[in-house]
Homo-oligomer: A and B are copies of this chain.
Amino acid sequence: MPEAKKPNPARRNERSRHAILDAARELIREVGYAKVSIEAIAARAGVGKQTIYRWWPSKGAVVFDSFLALSGNPEEGITLPDTGDIEADLKLVMRATAAEFADPDFEAPIRALNSEIISDSGLAAQYREKLARPVDDAKKARLRAAQQAGQLASDADLDLVLEVLYAPLYQRWLHRSGPLTAEYADALVDITLRAFRP
């Protein structure tokens, strides 16, 4: 077996790792994902190219990791507000999500991330596992509470509920096919609750 050489993670230089992820994030913001090159990341980070190739298989992977690092490592799960009023709580969250998507500062990097995810199934899996899952779990926890409170059909598939709730917003943002207003966020909550009411 040829068996690719594996570098020893114990010896990894944490200083370099950070510099690389920081440089990646900065460059994406400054010039856009498509124009970021590994050479530029290495130069900006003051690092040899080989150090990047040693630890990451592709530009996408570096960028992805830079997102992971950014989102902190929420070892303990996130929790959504629970006032007992599922409609109010969801509208709060949905409006926040819509606002985040509309924020031009988040625009470029999130588009970069999505672009990479579409065509790289490995990164897509990582994305689901590391970035989407924790958030989705928190949302599902809140929905489960609503089910128990009789505000949602008890047999509703919560993954499906999440999709109906978020996918329209996501698609509208991705295709720039309409404005992401608070009213729109509210409308999606209303529709979802109507579709899945007990």
Contact = CB atoms under 8 A, between A and B. Distances in A.
Interface residue range, chain A? 35 or more
B117 A112 contact: no
Contacts of A174: 114, 117-118, 174
A127 interface: yes
Q: Secondary structure at chain A's binding surface: helix, strand, loop or mixed?
A: helix
A170 interface: yes
A119 B172 CA distance: 14
A160 B128 CA distance: 26
A168 B175 contact: no
Interface in A123-179: 124-125, 127-128, 132, 157, 159-160, 163-164, 166-168, 170-172, 174-178
A176 B119 contact: no
A97 interface: no
Number of copies: 4
A34 interface: yes
Contacts of A32: 119
A135 to B, nearest CB: 13
Contacts of A166: 171
- The 8 lowest CB-CB distance pairs between A and B, nearest first, are A195-B195, A167-B167, A163-B168, A167-B171, A167-B168, A191-B195, A115-B118, A194-B195
Interface of A: 32-34, 111-112, 114-115, 117-119, 121, 124-125, 127-128, 132, 157, 159-160, 163-164, 166-168, 170-172, 174-178, 187-188, 191-192, 194-196
Given A33-B119, A167-B170, 12 more contacts: A32-B119, A111-B118, A115-B119, A160-B187, A163-B168, A163-B172, A164-B195, A170-B171, A171-B171, A191-B196, A192-B195, A194-B195
